[in-house]
């Protein structure tokens, strides 16, 4: 699967960051959709199950990233999608907890610029999609 075919859902409550990542990912030819929280993201997954990549923040109001992952798993939404956590929570306990949900990657926002995030997400996706084929 080529990058330009990847459909990405970016889930983050920070509108400024959503805008930055949306522009960066679209510039590389990806199809981008956004959600400002876990509930909005679940609604989008329920109506449109063909996302290839979910880029997910952990700390969000109402429904955090872990609660979102729990619901996604319960409802078996986009089971083949690559899930990459993009969070400022860089503690080992958070990373370990996220791994229990079968995530494919974990990126700490504070130490990564948007172009590096894009590169890392594409590498994770390429690596994981090649295992499927």
CATH 3.40.50.2300 for the 3-132 domain, yes or no: yes
Tokens matching residue 115: 């172009």
Tokens matching residue 61: 């109001």
Q: What is the pLDDT of residues 25-69, one digit of tens each?
A: 999 999 999 999 999 999 999 998 789 999 999 999 999 999 999
pLDDT at 108: 93
Greater confidence (48 vs 108) lies with 108
Q: Are 117 and 130 in contact, with CB atoms under 8 Å apart?
A: no
Mean pLDDT throughout 71-77? 95
Q: Are 85 and 105 in contact, with CB atoms under 8 Å apart?
A: yes
Q: What is the DSSP letter of 104?
A: S
Tokens matching residue 15: 């509108």
Domain ranges, ordered by start, for the chain: 3-132
Mean pLDDT throughout 58-86? 95
Q: Which of 31, 133, 39, 54 is nearest to 101 (CA)?
A: 54
Report angle CA 102, 98, 114 to the nearest 5 degrees: 100
pLDDT at 132: 58
Question: The whole model's pTM is what?
Answer: 0.92
The sheet carrying 105-108 orders its strands as 31-35, 7-11, 53-56, 82-87, 105-108
């Amino acid at each position: 699967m080529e990058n330009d075919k990847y459909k990405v859902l970016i889930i983050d409550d920070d509108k400024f960051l959503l805008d930055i990542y949306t522009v960066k990912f679209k510039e590389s030819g990806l199809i981008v959709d956004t959600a400002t929280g876990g509930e909005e993201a679940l609604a989008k997954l329920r109506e449109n199950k063909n996302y290839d990549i979910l880029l997910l923040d952990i700390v969000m109001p109402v429904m955090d990233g872990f609660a979102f992952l729990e619901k996604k798993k319960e409802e078996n939404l986009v089971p083949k999608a690559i899930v990459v956590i993009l969070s400022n929570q860089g503690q080992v306990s958070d990373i370990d907890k996220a791994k229990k949900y079968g995530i494919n990657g974990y990126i700490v926002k504070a130490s990564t610029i948007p172009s590096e995030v894009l590169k890392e997400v594409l590498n994770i996706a390429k690596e994981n999609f090649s295992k499927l084929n």
